[in-house]
Amino acid sequence: MTSRVPERLQWTVGLLDVRPSEHLLEIGCGAGHGVALICARLTRGTITAIDRSAVMVDRARRRNAGCVAAGRARIERQELAAAALGRRFDKVFAVNVNAFWTTSEPSFAALKRLLETQGRAFLVYEPPGVARLANLRRTLPAQLEAHGFHVTAVATERFRSSHGLCITASV
């Protein structure tokens, strides 16, 4: 499968500063571009990716078949709120997952449950237009804090045709 990796995913993986032995979770992995970028940085660590779409899980598995076979990647069809993954993660990230800006209590609870005590969550958005970016930049940190998270960083980025926002938080 050869398709261009979206700028938002390249930027996100750069922000994650992946360590070779970390265990990461991607919520809403789509076609698996993020998994591929992260697998290239892992030696002893792993990436688990979930998506609620069977079509996207199939695409992600095909794109990352080598990483799955090597045991560095696990890709499953699961809903975040009920995700049963058997472990906690050093870093959890989600790109353009609306559950967090729509104040979904089960999603925030699942994020807490899946994150290691010293772990960090990275919520990334590529909203349409700067007005929406400004709105998310203002409201998302408050949502996280209302659900017991501590916001540790807010980053923005200008892409070729859009803008990115990343809110980093810990429990």
Q: Are 100 and 140 in contact (CB under 8 A)?
A: yes
Question: And the tokens for 127?
Answer: 């909203």
Check the CA dihedral 96-97-98-100 and report its sign: negative
Q: In the prediction, which pLDDT does 3 show?
A: 67
Measured distance CA(75)–CA(64) in Å, rounded: 9
pLDDT at 8 over 80: yes
Three-state SS string over 44-77 comes to CCEEEEEECCHHHHHHHHHHCHHHHHCCCEEEEE
pLDDT tens digits, 63-76: 999 999 999 999 99
pLDDT digits (tens, 9 = 90+) for 106-127: 999 999 999 999 999 999 999 9
Beta bridge partners of 17: none
Q: Within the chain, how many helices (H) and strands (E) appear? A: 6, 7
Whether residue 133 contacts residue 8, with contact meaning beta carbons closer than 8 Å, is answered with no
Confidence band (pLDDT; 50, 70, 90) for 27? very high
Residue given tokens 């237009």 in the structure block: 129
Tell me the torsion sign for CA atoms 65, 67, 69, 73: negative
Specify whether the CB–CB gap between 33 and 51 falls below 8 A.
no
Whether the predicted pLDDT of 4 surpasses 90: no
Answer yes or no: are the C-beta atoms of 29 and 50 closer than 8 Å: yes
Which residues, at least 6 apart from 82, have a Cβ–Cβ distance to it below 8 Å? Answer: 110
Which residue ranges form the domains of the chain, and what is each CATH number?
A: 7-164 (3.40.50.150)
Select from 10, 34, 46 the least CA-distant residue to 94.
34
Residue type, 28: G
Provide the pLDDT confidence category of residue 1 given band limits of 50, 70 and 90.
Answer: very low
Which of 27-41, 100-114, 128-142 has the highest average model confidence (pLDDT)?
A: 27-41
